[in-house]
């Protein structure tokens, strides 16, 4: 079998019977929107993430937009996010007329640098949005302390880190709100688009539910401008099955990461991912740093080894945000964009496949040193 960046089919085959049964139960019930399966999944997700409430939505980008809307964020407001993230974190705020302000990252964890966040705070800041990038929690104590000091809510973008922990608590349980994505390749992946908003505040839960359902608590009575953003029952049924397996899937990812670490840790010129002492890394991606990254990428391509570059262009240098970010320089973010390379990482990765990947990486590095 050729090596894949993610192997959704292999994982499906492990749990095929359970998934197929769950899907046919939904088809039999014809309860396609909302209904008992969604409620069950929401309860299970809230329990797993140690949040009071989980609200299923259509995808992780909507989850961010809905979280921003629930806090009343709009024109003239600013949110602080990392520039080293997927576009959605900032895009959802910009869609509402708010301005994303980009902070730099800690080069060791790739997550928000609290000092950089503090320098971005203004009287217009309405939310701080740490992203638990690649499966590892940001340094939440420091970020929550800033939120408390300036009275600014913290929203955790937990799209990449479900199952990760920080000082013993799950990511997604620490902020005023948190968002999840269940895009198929995420650690908890649906078979289509899906997402969720987490909170432990009953008033915010009610607002979030209302926004996801056309801004109304009761059918045909609309209190606010909302969306049609629901997690459909088929995806909820699939996610309910997969959530039961998430701990064992996380163990498989961590075992694969340990195998990479063991062989790459002492290779000159390669920096392996760092697992901070504050919690469990769930390795949504296994991201190494190399000075001449593009040359390594070229060698991998030649050898038929897949890889990913997350992210090649930081958000503050994207054409879409160019106007508002003139003169912004984020040295650690820019350096990371030039040096990161993600190796294949998924639950089906075998030691033999990893040996092939690592052999190719090491051969390239040795060749580059002696060339």
Catalog residues that contact ligand PLP under the rule CB under 6 A.
Answer: 59-61, 85-86, 88-89, 131, 157, 159-160, 181, 183, 193, 195
Q: Quote the least distance from Cβ 58 to ligand PLP, whole Å.
A: 8
What distances in angstroms separate CA 279 from CA 25, 37, 161, 274, one per listed residue?
A: 38, 32, 11, 11
Q: Quote the least distance from Cβ 181 to ligand PLP, whole Å.
A: 3
Cβ nearer to ligand PLP, comparing 307 with 310: 310
DSSP-assigned letter for residue 104: P
Cβ nearer to ligand PLP, comparing 59 with 325: 59
Q: Quote the least distance from Cβ 96 to ligand PLP, whole Å.
A: 15
Residue nearest to ligand PLP (CB): 60
| Burial class (CB within 10 angstroms; exposed 0-12, middle 13-18, buried 19+) of 23 | middle
Give the three-state DSSP class for 360.
helix
Q: Quote the least distance from Cβ 79 to ligand PLP, whole Å.
A: 13
Q: Sheet holding 270-271: strands in order across?
A: 270-271, 286-290, 340-343
Q: Quote the least distance from Cβ 359 to ligand PLP, whole Å.
A: 30
β pairing state of 340-343 and 286-290: antiparallel
Q: Quote the least distance from Cβ 151 to ligand PLP, whole Å.
A: 25
**Spatial separation of the C-alpha atoms in residues 63 and 89, rounded to whole Å:** 10
Query: 103: which 2 tokens?
Result: 């902070």
| CB contact set of 33 (below 8 Å; sequence gap of 6+) | 230, 232, 233
C-beta separation of 42 from 55 below 8 A = yes
**Spatial separation of the C-alpha atoms in residues 329 and 271, rounded to whole Å:** 24
Cβ nearer to ligand PLP, comparing 98 with 358: 98
Cβ nearer to ligand PLP, comparing 116 with 160: 160
**Spatial separation of the C-alpha atoms in residues 113 and 116, rounded to whole Å:** 5
Q: Quote the least distance from Cβ 325 to ligand PLP, whole Å.
A: 19
Cβ nearer to ligand PLP, comparing 61 with 99: 61
Hey, what's the torsion of the CAs at 252, 257, 260, 264, to 10 degrees? -170
Q: Quote the least distance from Cβ 366 to ligand PLP, whole Å.
A: 34
Cβ nearer to ligand PLP, comparing 183 with 354: 183
Give the three-state DSSP class for 25.
helix
**Spatial separation of the C-alpha atoms in residues 199 and 214, rounded to whole Å:** 20
Cβ nearer to ligand PLP, comparing 55 with 270: 55
| CB contact set of 251 (below 8 Å; sequence gap of 6+) | none
**Spatial separation of the C-alpha atoms in residues 89 and 98, rounded to whole Å:** 12
Q: Quote the least distance from Cβ 333 to ligand PLP, whole Å.
A: 14
β-bridge mates for residue 12, sequence order: none
Cβ nearer to ligand PLP, comparing 192 with 216: 192
> 151-180 as b/e, with b when 16 or more CB fall inside 10 Å?
ebbbbbbbbbbbbbbbeeebbbbbbbbbbb
Cβ nearer to ligand PLP, comparing 157 with 240: 157
């Amino acid at each position: 079998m050729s090596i894949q960046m993610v192997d959704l089919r292999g994982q499906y085959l492990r749990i095929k019977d359970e998934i197929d049964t769950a899907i046919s139960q939904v088809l039999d019930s014809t309860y396609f929107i909302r209904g008992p399966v969604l409620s069950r999944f929401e309860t299970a997700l809230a329990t797993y993430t140690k949040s009071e409430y989980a609200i299923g939505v259509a995808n992780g980008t909507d989850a961010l937009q809905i979280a921003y809307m629930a806090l009343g964020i709009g024109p003239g407001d600013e949110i602080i996010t990392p520039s080293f993230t997927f576009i959605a974190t900032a895009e959802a705020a910009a869609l509402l007329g708010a301005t994303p302000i980009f902070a730099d990252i800690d080069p060791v964890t790739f997550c928000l640098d609290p000092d950089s966040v503090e320098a971005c705070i203004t009287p217009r800041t309405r939310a701080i949005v740490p992203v638990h990038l690649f499966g590892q929690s940001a340094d939440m104590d420091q970020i929550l302390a800033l939120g408390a000091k300036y009275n600014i809510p913290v929203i955790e973008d937990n799209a990449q880190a479900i199952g990760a922990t920080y000082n013993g608590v799950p990511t997604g349980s620490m902020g005023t709100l948190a968002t999840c994505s269940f895009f198929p390749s995420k650690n908890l992946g649906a078979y289509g688009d899906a997402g969720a908003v987490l909170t432990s505040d009953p008033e915010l839960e009610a607002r979030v539910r209302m926004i996801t359902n056309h801004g109304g608590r009761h059918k045909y009575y609309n209190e606010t401008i909302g969306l049609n953003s629901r997690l459909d029952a088929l995806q909820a049924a699939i996610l309910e099955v997969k959530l039961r397996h998430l701990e064992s899937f996380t163990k498989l990812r961590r075992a694969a990461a340990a195998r990479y670490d063991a062989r790459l840790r002492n290779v000159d010129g390669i920096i392996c991912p760092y697992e901070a002492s504050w919690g469990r890394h769930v390795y949504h991606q296994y991201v190494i740093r190399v000075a001449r990254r593009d040359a390594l990428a070229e060698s991998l391509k030649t050898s038929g080894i897949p890889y990913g570059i997350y992210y090649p262009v930081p958000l503050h240098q994207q054409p879409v945000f160019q106007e508002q970010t003139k003169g912004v320089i984020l040295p650690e973010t820019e350096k990371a964009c030039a040096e990161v390379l993600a190796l294949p990482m998924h639950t089906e990765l075998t030691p033999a496949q990893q040996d092939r990947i690592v052999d190719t990486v090491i051969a390239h590095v040795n060749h580059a040193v002696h060339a």
